[in-house]
Structure 1
Amino acid sequence: MLDSKTIEIVQSTAPVLKQHSEQIGKKFYELLFAKAPDLYNLFNQTNQKRGLQQEALGYAVYAAGEHITNLDAIMPVITRVTQKHRAIGVKPEQYPLVGETLLEAVKEVLGSAATDEIIGAWGKAYEYIAEAFIQIEQDLYKESKEQAGGWEGFRSFTVTRKVAESDDVTSFYLEPSDKQALAGFEPGQYLTIKAQVPGEKYTHIRHYSLSDAPGKSYYRISVKRERSNEGKPAGIVSNDLHDRIQEGDSLLFSAPAGDFTLDHTDDHLVLIGGGIGVTPLMSMINTVADQSPGREVTFVQAAANGNNHPFKEHLARLANSHPNLRCFTAYSSPTEKDLGSESFSHKGYVDAAWLRSILPSGPALYYFCGSVSFMKAINQALKELEIPKERIHYEAFSPIAILDEE
């Protein structure tokens, strides 16, 4: 346990680290990759270029310091991070290098303000926090390996089917190349791919939500082709999957992970997805359709138009064959064809006013996923509708997964 003096120093200086969190994160990764360039194989290099991982690291350091005497207060952050660490293969022996480099980054950014006493206190705090992370991650590794069909590290899967779901989304059906058993998963979890893209020096790690219900003979991920703002291709891994990977090819994945999981109760379920953020919610609604025929579900999807509306036909079939499932779609830029289609519900964005007109009047559990901007808008809308915070769950396809700090 940390001594009182160390705790006092860490908590009093945590706001200073928050103020300089972006610079600390940037300097940390710069130093880390200079020391151990092979770690490029573990980190999402696109998020590095966008500065997202640097910002997420800075937030995590500040939050851990602020709550050093009660890490349970930031358990959602810890759980999310440890799940991702297990998925990409972070090991205990890597923590000392990270701690050493983090302290170097703090000293470089803060300069003379980072006294030996402050650096010493944060060093002790880091060791304390690292021990907690390592223990949780070791339990996750053990759980993953010991469950039926489970495995450690990365396992080869064969693409048995490749199916276009919309103009820009394609599903990949994956079966174990060794023909052995397949581990179960919770609806909402993701797979992590280790992709070797031709022409790239390092492997690329990406997380892709499982988009079908568990209990099948396959896993399914659904991937959006990413484009830059100028319309030129972006997304190294997603485009490689779309353009190069074909049925019969093999890919490497770690076991299912993630803390954004379906609550297995009878509560009315509200699922709100924007763009490719609909993928984990597809696993949830398919699970309810397969296993809980009486559970009420309101499924809300945001898309540009019918051409960019993945799973449109499948969701229409589900709604027509399951009276407990209601599906609504908001098109921000509907075509003339969309305006008369069965799948079209609302022109514009998902907002509080429209949600009020379609959501259940009684208690419900709310799950939403999409871009950070989409989720901030949904989070604000649910606040306006006075939905209790404890009934709201979300997943971010970004390292910056905190929508507010209230």
Structure 2
Amino acid sequence: MTNEQKELIKATVPILKEHGVLLTSHFYNRMFTHNPELKNMFNMGNQQNKKQQTALAMAVLAYAENIENPAVLMPAVDSIGQKHTSLDIRPEHYAIVGKHLIASISEVLGEGATPAILDAWTAAYLQLASIMSGHEQSLYDNQVKKEGGWTGWRPFIVKEKVKESDEITSFYLYPADGGPVADFTPGQYLSVRLFLPELNLLQPRQYSISCAPNGSYYRISVKKETHAVHPDGMISNHLHYFINEGDMIEITAPAGNFVLAENDRPVVFISGGVGQTPLMSMLETLVQRKTTQPKTWIHGCKAANAHAFKSIIAEWSDGNETLNTHFFYDTPAEGQTDVISGWVELNRFDQQVLSPEADYYICGPAPFIKKHYEYLTAHGVGKEAIHFEEFGPASLQLN
């Protein structure tokens, strides 16, 4: 890109701040109209709730703001790249996206989209596509280097389906080809793809792996959604109601960069509802390794009937002086004394529990993450020690 083109990109930042979601909404409508086959690759639930449009608008804005030094965006590039490899996004898809993005800029800006601005954004997009596809190729290469590694969609058999609570059910997935299972880093997720007759589409969804690496299977633990008619919960509910032991589903290799750090610092896990699933993988790994670092488990859910993995957490903590557990219930049973009533509140703990020297892992809804992130930073915990994952397209800009 020329310096003049970079200046033109920066000049569009105010427009992106004000009209970014309008632009990305137009883009998705245009792309799905001209390339409807891509609906099979995108979460159409996130299209309906506008999360994907918002996430893309934020990403485009961040790129424009840092056009002179895109290297500062590498953490975001990695997060997006991890998601893309989990969805089997390939370089040819960038060409389709680029065509519709530039056309959308022209159509939304109208006379404001001068030939110079369109040329600048074409050059900027080609640069971004090169950065993204190059990084994603390295991720694909790393996948196939692993024993049992693969790229693309691979069939797995549901050998066990275990109810963990009234809301959450676990699915134990074994490779249909009988081959080895690639290792993963605790905290990672995989994508599941199912055909939804209601939409007449294949639909992918990401689910955290909820067990420690074991060489034999992956386990995902899925929350049943009440809004079954909305695409947001269709895959989760399809798994609950229609996928049984012995059935086959397609998944991609583990991906994600919300992972357990390799150090001996104290660790604090903070989760809300089904947000505990990636943290389960992390904690089980530490328990299996018999690490001596202090481990604190803080979890909140609706009530006892919604509390998944309570028994196994109790088993791990029984007689284990390095693991302390704290549970919050929105509505505990009358006379129940082993839980704290209400939502998760970190101000109930002192520095012996919430040490500034600890690593923190937070997972749950976006407001849950934001609340606890801000509490921790306000009480002396460094941002670099706080790790979080928001389910769905990223909307939080905290670090």
What TM-score do the two structures reach when normalised by structure 1? 0.94
The aligned residue for residue 109 of structure 1 is 108
Distance 1:156 1:68, change over 3 A: same
- Unaligned runs of 5+ residues in structure 2 are none
The aligned residue for residue 307 of structure 1 is 305
Contact 2:44 2:231 in 1 (8 A): no
Deviation at 1:358, TM superposition (A): 6.4
Moved over 3 A (4+): 230-234, 355-358
Deviation at 1:149, TM superposition (A): 0.4
Distance 1:132 1:258, change over 3 A: same
Query: Distance between the aligned counterparts of 1:288 and 1:114, measured in 2?
Result: 55
The aligned residue for residue 372 of structure 1 is 366
Distance 1:16 1:231, change over 3 A: closer
Query: Distance between the aligned counterparts of 1:24 and 1:320, measured in 2?
Result: 54
Structure 1 counterpart SS, 2:253 = strand
Query: Distance between the aligned counterparts of 1:167 and 1:403, measured in 2?
Result: 33
The aligned residue for residue 382 of structure 1 is 376
Structure 2 counterpart SS, 1:298 = strand
1:134-283 equivalences under 5 Å are 134-228=133-227, 235-283=233-281
Contact 1:211 1:220 in 2 (8 A): yes
Q: 2:342 aligns with which of 336, 339, 348?
A: 348
Q: Deviations over 1:178-220 (max 9, x none)?
A: 1111100000000101111344311010000000001242110
Q: Which moved more, 1:395-404 or 1:267-276?
A: 395-404
2:121 pairs with 1:127: no
Query: Distance between the aligned counterparts of 1:233 and 1:69, measured in 2?
Result: 39
The aligned residue for residue 60 of structure 1 is 59
The aligned residue for residue 81 of structure 1 is 80
2:391 pairs with 1:397: yes
Structure 2 counterpart SS, 1:263 = coil
Read off the aligned partner of 2:314 and give its amino acid letter: A
Query: Distance between the aligned counterparts of 2:19 and 2:348, measured in 1?
Result: 40
Query: Distance between the aligned counterparts of 1:118 and 1:26, measured in 2?
Result: 20
Query: Distance between the aligned counterparts of 1:234 and 1:94, measured in 2?
Result: 24
Contact 1:379 1:403 in 2 (8 A): no
Q: Tell me the number of residue pairs that the alignment of Structure 1 and Structure 2 aligns.
A: 399
- Unaligned runs of 5+ residues in structure 1 are none
Query: Distance between the aligned counterparts of 2:165 and 2:102, measured in 1?
Result: 47
Query: Distance between the aligned counterparts of 2:274 and 2:24, measured in 1?
Result: 28
Contact 1:352 1:385 in 2 (8 A): no
Read off the aligned partner of 2:363 and give its amino acid letter: C
Contact 1:20 1:109 in 2 (8 A): no
Deviation at 1:347, TM superposition (A): 1.4
Structure 2 counterpart SS, 1:153 = coil
Query: Distance between the aligned counterparts of 1:248 and 1:39, measured in 2?
Result: 29
Query: Distance between the aligned counterparts of 2:318 and 2:231, measured in 1?
Result: 37
1:23-42 equivalences under 5 Å are 23-42=22-41
Distance 1:16 1:277, change over 3 A: same
Contact 1:293 1:322 in 2 (8 A): no
Give the share of equivalent positions with the same residue, in percent: 38
Contact 1:226 1:233 in 2 (8 A): no
